[in-house]
Structures are given as structure tokens and as C-alpha cells.
């Protein structure tokens, strides 16, 4: 079920009304489980069995960890959770990738292998809820979290529908305790949630979906276009993927607030970053911090010899790329970001830009503008590999950009899209200190003026949205 669909706008009010009619906490949690399974099963009910499997395995592992102090048994239980979860993820997401590369490797040396790949359908959101449940068992193993005995609350934590299929990837230490506490309806919190949903829909429907029209055309026929058009296609994809994914996160967080839950911020205005390190502190925060805490730091983090630090950075970025998909394009994308990051790490400048850019000022300095544009250009270059069908096509695309035709007029008109993006950048800049761009916009205005703004944004969404019901990019991961 898509957030930007009629189905969801029927589903959400029904669940909302039923939820707040109920008084019992356990019954509320049970309703969340039922609603979440219905929400996910709308795509394919068969994959509900995978969520159920992950839930039961990690719930049982948690109970097992609480019942023993034996280090060997505890480690075996942890590995049981890791093997089951990553095994299921690996089969559905990476089986054909490894099989095809195995065949290619043998064919390279003149050995032909006769085999066939499986027609495996990738379950929506499997990478997200797999990492979420793993955070539970790892934190219980590390004794950072007490294991739960409430199967209903744990099932709700695993399957919570607002963030089930594309995050944020919540930590059990943050989200799970919220299912134990009595929740009361707060009109101010719900209103803020509705504003965030509205802004998320604007980013998805007006920005991302309109950019998608140009991106799909340019990337599908890249050999036919000039360098300037190819450059325009990359820039549009940069705004498409940001509007699409951060828009989903805003809708998920806003929807959660309607039910009295608080989810972590997943995007913190990343395109205003002044270097790549800052970008990765602001982009897909739930995933980058997950890899930091559960992979990077256990490997040694930024401590040790330079060679060890370089190794750790490459591992975390390449694994992050591979998490996104079973393709060499994602691995190259991750490796490029590692190459960008390493000079900052070795010169100890990776934490030079911690605060908000131009903090306390209306406009950035010339130096800030230069740093932001340079970071945006480097990031956009990596997006070519993220979007391309293969590494070869990505290289040809980049080669096409850096050709004499780069200085010609683009062959694709962006029309009103350029004004949408300009408005979007202005609103994002003005709200860069907040959780989302319009969080505080209009709160001090009179009610008629404030509602005029909301209706204006809604008018943009309804009237000037792109192709309706376009799926979210990160559903494929």
C-alpha cells in the first residue's frame, strides 16, 4: 500500500479512529499488529510469513538470552538470529547475484557451467525490518536492552506499518519501550504530524515524481542526448531520490506521531552539507548510524593504524552499497563514497562541520556556498552509478556529460519543475534548523492565513503532482 494512494488515505483514518477508541494498551498494540500485517499484505500476503518468522526467531532468541549467562550459549543464540535473518535476506536479495557472478568467473577461465537462476521476487522492505530486528537481538546480547516477554508489543515493534517498508530503521532501545507505555492523544502532536505528512507528500509527489519524468527519459536514452541534457538528468535524479526517500521518511514519522509514537529523524537537510562526512551524518541517518554502531565500531572504527582505518571505511561503505541492492553499481557507489571520505578521515577533518551551516544567519558565506556546491556535485556524480543499469552504462553516461556538448542547450525542458525546485530549496534552507522544513512555518500566523498556506501546499500536491501512485524508490531495497 503506497502512502501516496487512495487506498492509504482510506486505511489511515479508519485505523486512527479505531486506535484512539480503544483504551487498553495491549489491545492498541494488537490493532497495530493487525493493521501492519494488512498494510504489508496489500502487496503480497505470502511475504507476511517472513515477517512472522523474523519476529518469532528474534523474540525466542531474546528469551533465550535472558535465560542463560553462559557466554558460549549466548553467542550461539546471537549467531542463530544473525544467520536466520541474514540468510533469508541473502536468499531473496542476493542469490541470483552470487550465482551469476560465480558462473561469470568460471566462464572467464574457459569453464562453462550450465545452471539457471531462480525467479525470486524481492519482498518489499526486507532489508529494513531485518536490520530492525537484528538491532534487538544484538542489543539484548550486549545487555543494553532487557528482553521483552510481550510478544504482541514485540510484533508491533517489528511490523509497525508507518516505517515497515522503508524506515527509518528504528533501534529497539528507542522504539520498543514506546509500546509498553500508555499513550494519550495529543492534538498538538497530531497536528505537527499532519504538517510533516503534508510536507513529505509535497517532496514525493511534486518534487520527486516530476523529476522522475525527466530522469526516466534521460537515463533510458542516454546515448541520444547531449552532455548538458545528461547533466540535467543527474541533477534531477539528485532531487528525485532525496524528495522520494526523505518524503517517505517524513510521512512515516508524521503518521507515527498520529498514534503517539516518536521515530528518529532520518534526513537532516543533507544537500546543505559542506563535506562528504557531514553528508553521511545527515543522509539516511538510521542506516548510517546502524552500520556505525554494529559494524564500524566493532571493526575498530577510526582507531588504530591508518591502514586499519582505511579498511574499516571501505568495509562500511561497500557493505552499505551492497545493502542497497545486488548489483555492482551499488558496490561502486559505496566505494566512491569511501574514496571521498578517506582524505577527511586521515587529515582528521571528518568532524569539521558538525553544526548547522550558516547557524544564526539568513544566508551562507561564499565559502559555505562553495563547499555545499562541491559536496553536492561529488554526491551527484555517485548517483549516476546508483541509477544506472550497469557499471558500463554509468561510465558511458559520465563520459557523455564530459563531452563538448556539455556547453550546448539541454534538449529537455524542465518548465515549471525548475520553479518547484527553487521553492523547495528556499523552504528547506529556511527550515534547516528544524526536524522538517515547515515545522514552525505559520505557527504564529492567524488561523486563516495558516490554513491558506496548508491548502496552497495541498493544491500543489493535487494539481501539479507527477504521475500518480508512483512507487517509492527505496521499496526495491
Do the Cβ atoms of 43 and 121 come closer than 8 Å?
no
Count of C-beta atoms within a 10 Å radius of residue 182:
9
Within 10 angstroms of residue 377's Cβ, the number of other Cβ atoms is 12
Question: ω before 168 within 30° of 0 (cis)?
Answer: yes
Q: Which helix (H) or strand (E) is 249 found in, with range? A: helix 227-258
Cell 532531487 identifies what position? Answer: 239
For residue 265, give the nearest of 289, 241, 243 by alpha carbon.
289
Other CB atoms within 10 A of residue 330 CB? 19
Catalytic site residue from 174, 221, 284, 324: 324
**Count of CB atoms within 10 A of residue 347's CB?**
9
DSSP letter at 266 equals -
Q: Answer whether 406's CB lies under 8 Å from 185's CB.
A: no
Q: If residue 421 lies in a helix (H) or strand (E), which one and from where to where?
A: helix 417-430
Q: Residue 185 is placed in which grid cell?
A: 492523544
Q: What is the DSSP track for 191-220?
A: HHHHHHHHHHHIIIIIIIHHHHHHHHHHHH
Helix (H, G, I), strand (E, B) or coil at 65: helix
The separation between the first and the last C-alpha atoms of the chain, rounded to the nearest angstrom, is 16
As a whole number of angstroms, the distance between CA 398 and CA 400 comes to 5
Concerning whether 174 is annotated as a catalytic residue, the answer is no
Residues annotated catalytic, as ranges:
324
Amino acid at each position: 500500500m503506497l502512502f501516496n494512494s487512495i487506498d492509504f488515505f482510506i486505511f489511515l483514518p479508519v485505523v486512527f479512529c479505531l486506535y484512539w477508541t480503544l483504551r487498553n494498551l495491549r489491545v492498541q498494540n494488537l490493532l497495530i499488529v493487525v493493521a501492519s500485517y494488512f498494510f504489508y499484505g496489500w502487496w503480497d500476503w505470502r511475504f507476511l510469513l517472513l515477517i512472522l518468522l523474523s519476529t518469532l526467531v528474534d523474540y525466542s532468541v531474546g528469551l533465550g538470552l535472558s535465560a542463560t549467562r553462559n557466554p558460549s550459549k549466548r553467542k550461539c543464540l546471537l549467531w542463530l538470529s544473525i544467520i536466520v535473518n541474514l540468510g533469508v535476506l541473502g536468499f531473496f536479495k542476493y542469490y541470483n547475484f552470487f550465482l551469476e557472478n560465480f558462473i561469470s568467473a568460471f566462464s572467464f577461465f574457459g569453464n562453462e557451467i550450465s545452471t539457471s537462476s531462480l525467479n525470486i521476487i524481492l519482498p518489499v522492505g526486507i532489508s529494513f525490518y531485518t536490520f530492525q530486528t537484528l538491532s534487538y537481538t544484538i542489543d539484548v546480547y550486549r545487555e543494553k536492552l532487557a528482553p521483552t516477554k510481550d510478544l504482541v508489543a514485540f510484533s508491533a515493534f517489528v511490523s509497525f506499518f508507518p516505517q515497515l517498508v522503508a524506515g527509518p530503521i528504528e533501534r529497539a532501545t528507542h522504539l520498543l519501550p514506546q509500546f509498553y507505555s500508555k499513550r494519550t492523544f495529543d492534538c498538538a502532536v497530531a497536528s505537527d504530524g499532519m504538517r510533516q505528512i503534508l510536507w513529505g507528500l509535497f517532496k514525493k509527489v511534486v518534487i520527486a515524481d516530476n523529476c522522475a519524468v525527466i530522469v526516466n527519459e534521460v537515463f533510458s536514452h542516454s546515448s541520444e542526448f547531449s552532455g548538458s541534457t545528461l547533466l540535467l538528468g543527474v541533477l534531477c535524479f539528485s532531487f528525485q531520490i532525496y524528495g522520494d526517500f526523505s518524503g517517505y521518511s517524513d510521512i512515516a514519522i508524521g503518521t507515527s506521531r498520529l498514534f503517539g509514537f516518536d521515530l528518529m529523524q532520518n534526513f537532516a537537510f543533507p544537500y546543505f552539507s559542506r563535506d562528504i562526512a557531514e553528508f553521511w551524518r545527515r543522509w539516511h541517518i538510521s542506516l548510517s548510524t546502524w552500520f556505525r554502531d554494529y559494524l564500524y565500531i566493532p571493526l575498530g572504527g577510526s582507531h588504530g593504524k591508518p591502514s586499519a582505518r582505511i579498511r574499516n571505511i571501505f568495509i562500511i561503505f561497500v557493505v552499505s552499497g551492497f545493502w542497497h541492492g545486488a548489483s555492482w553499481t551499488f558496490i561502486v557507489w559505496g566505494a566512491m563514497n569511501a574514496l571521498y571520505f578517506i582524505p577527511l578521515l586521515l587529515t582528521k577533518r571528518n568532524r569539521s562541520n558538525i553544526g548547522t551551516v550558516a547557524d544564526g544567519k539568513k544566508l551562507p558565506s561564499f565559502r559555505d556556498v562553495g563547499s555545499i556546491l562541491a559536496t553536492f556535485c561529488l554526491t551527484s556524480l555517485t548517483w549516476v552509478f546508483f541509477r544506472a543499469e550497469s557499471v558500463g552504462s554509468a561510465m558511458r553516461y559520465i563520459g557523455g556529460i564530459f563531452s563538448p556538448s556539455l556547453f550546448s542547450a539541454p534538449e529537455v525542458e524542465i518548465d515549471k519543475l525548475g520553479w518547484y525546485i527553487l521553492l523547495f530549496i528556499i523552504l528547506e534552507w529556511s527550515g534547516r534548523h528544524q526536524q522538517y522544513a515547515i515545522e514552525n512555518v505559520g505557527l504564529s500566523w492567524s488561523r486563516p492565513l495558516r490554513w491558506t498556506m496548508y491548502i496552497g501546499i495541498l493544491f500543489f500536491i493535487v494539481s501539479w503532482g507527477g504521475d500518480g501512485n508512483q512507487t517509492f524508490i527505496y521499496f526495491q531495497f
